[in-house]
Amino acid sequence: MALSQEETEALRKSLVECNLPLEERWRRAGEASPPRDEWHSFDRTPWNHPWMKPENIRHFADFSAAKLSELGALLGANGGRDKSQQRSWLRGKVDRLIGGSREVGQRFAFVGNMANVNYIRARPLRQRNVPVDLVLHPHDDFIFAQPGWEEFDGEVTDLGADPKKALLEKALPSWVHRHQSEPNWEHIPFQLDKFAATPAQILLWPEYMQYFPTLAALSCYDALLVSQFPYLGYFSGRPYLFGQIGGDIWFEASRNDSFGILTRRAIAASAAVLVSNPITLAHARRYGLSNVLYVPWPLSEDDYSPGDADDIRADWRQQIGGEFFVFTSMRMDRHWKGAEHALEGFARFASRAPSARLVVLGWGEDIEFARSRMTQLGLQDRVLFLPTVGKRRLVRYLRAADLVIEQFVLGYYGASALEAMACGKPVIMRIEREQYDALIDVGAPPVLDAESGTDVERHLYSLYEDRAKCRKAGEQAREWFIRAQSSERWAKTYTVLLEALAAGIPLSFSGSPLLEPLSADEQRYHASQLSSAPPFPNYVDP
């Protein structure tokens, strides 16, 4: 696997030239123009994109299912494990570079962990004997991105004065790795045979070479799944899937500066972009992506499940009284979540439901607005604001609640709604139902559609008046989750994708409806959205 003399000299040259001014570096790399501090494109309302018609989404869903089936057949015919000598060498490199996973057969890595999305994905796969490591970004110290947060059964205040530090200092499982960055990377003696980034990549984006220790470790795996930081896959030299989680593909890829260009190229270079929600298809049309498959991120049906939480309900009664508990764990944010609809809807409902209480997890930029608004409405004694909690405690809260209120802007669900449905709770939220019906083979989730406080009030009162109906709605939510988005449902698909990449089986996207030329309506829509974009680099108007 040693580099040739020519390859080594090209790398050494790029390491020297990366100190040149930006425009000169981009010229030497053969780029037509350097990055600019402007938008490449923008879309405030991707759910309204002209392509997002049920027939188009259904065509994509059918294509995706057919390609995954075809891939599974190819993998079976190929044997999936025809690179034993290379893998033996790779396992040796893994052991040397990252201390090993202490188990034979380590081959895959999930990279990045915003909101624990990849820890959540990896753990149930490991329980099914799929050899997956989790590699954390060295600078991602956000509290929700720590694996310890997923296992924590307590309130953030239980972690002391510096909860971030407390979580970072917790021992990681043996299969989770974090590598320190090298801020003075240009001065360290490179082991060029372990340096997977190309000379052009080094020349264009030298500031990212500080992640050499992480990239060197990633280069030892057979295949990767990268979320939030697609450039780590791009620079790793390994085949990788991109598991988008929201802002990365919506906003960061919209930029035309160096970071935005890197993000778009890294997404386009992935073996496949994995779609969880229809919204990603609008972005795919905007960026010209066709390497897209419907493979949602799943939850463990064991970790997130119905159960008794009488102790939690008893504690809530002691603090605020009541017998019917409405719960929300969504971020208190009026712009992106429409949190005011949940508050106003509960306020109207509460006037007719004396035993109803609202339980709010206390996070988000509009949390103080929520407290103030409830006081203005004279409901401060009917609302319980709780500190942010770890995921094990959150599951107990979901089990204790009668139902859950979710977001009202995007029309797509994220972790909060999925966790609630997995725990068997009815969910009230806005949803793009026709789009989901077209995308998911078992149909859209059975959430209760709401776009306003009036809708929220109507659904709350209906379930409050008929507790049997409320329980039935929760059972239906759990049943849908198992069939549509559980680990049980998707573990085999993840295994097939990873094994196919490791075996060198190319993913073909011929015939994808995303390859069709942009329509005139789409072109007009893109131009209109770009012309009304907020000042760069803000994602919303300041």
Would you write out the chain's pLDDT as a tens digit for each of its 542 residues?
456 778 777 877 877 788 889 999 999 889 988 999 999 999 999 999 999 999 999 999 999 999 999 999 988 876 544 444 344 434 444 444 444 443 334 489 999 999 899 999 999 999 999 999 999 999 998 898 999 999 999 998 899 888 888 888 888 899 999 999 887 766 555 566 667 888 889 889 989 989 989 999 999 999 999 999 999 999 999 999 999 988 899 999 999 999 999 999 999 999 999 999 999 999 999 999 999 999 999 999 999 999 999 999 999 999 999 999 999 998 888 888 888 999 999 999 999 999 999 999 977 888 898 899 999 989 999 999 999 999 999 999 999 999 999 999 999 998 999 999 999 999 999 999 999 999 999 999 999 999 999 999 999 999 999 999 999 999 999 999 999 999 999 999 999 999 999 999 989 999 999 999 999 999 999 999 999 999 999 998 87
Q: How far is CA 203 from CA 22, 193, 195, 218, in A?
A: 9, 18, 14, 21
pLDDT of residue 5: 76
Torsion sign (Cα): 486, 489, 492, 495: negative
Chain centroid offset of residue 405 CA: 21
Between CA 35 and CA 536 the distance in angstroms is: 13
Picking from 64, 171, 126, the residue whose alpha carbon sits closest to that of residue 303 is 126
pLDDT of residue 87: 43
Picking from 422, 427, 441, 399, the residue whose alpha carbon sits closest to that of residue 486 is 422
Q: Give the chain's count of helices (H) and strands (E).
A: 23, 13
Residue corresponding to tokens 């307590």: 154
Amino acid at 75: L
> pTM of the prediction?
0.92
Between CA 402 and CA 131 the distance in angstroms is: 38
Q: What is the DSSP letter of 184?
A: T
To which H or E segment does residue 62 belong?
helix 54-78
Sheet with 403-405: list strands edge to edge: 383-386, 356-361, 324-328, 403-405, 427-429, 448-449
Residue pair 198/7 in contact (Cβ under 8 Å)? The answer is no
Q: Is the peptide bond before 537 cis (omega within 30 degrees of 0)?
A: yes
Two structure tokens written together for 56: 């188009």
Torsion sign (Cα): 528, 251, 296, 475: negative
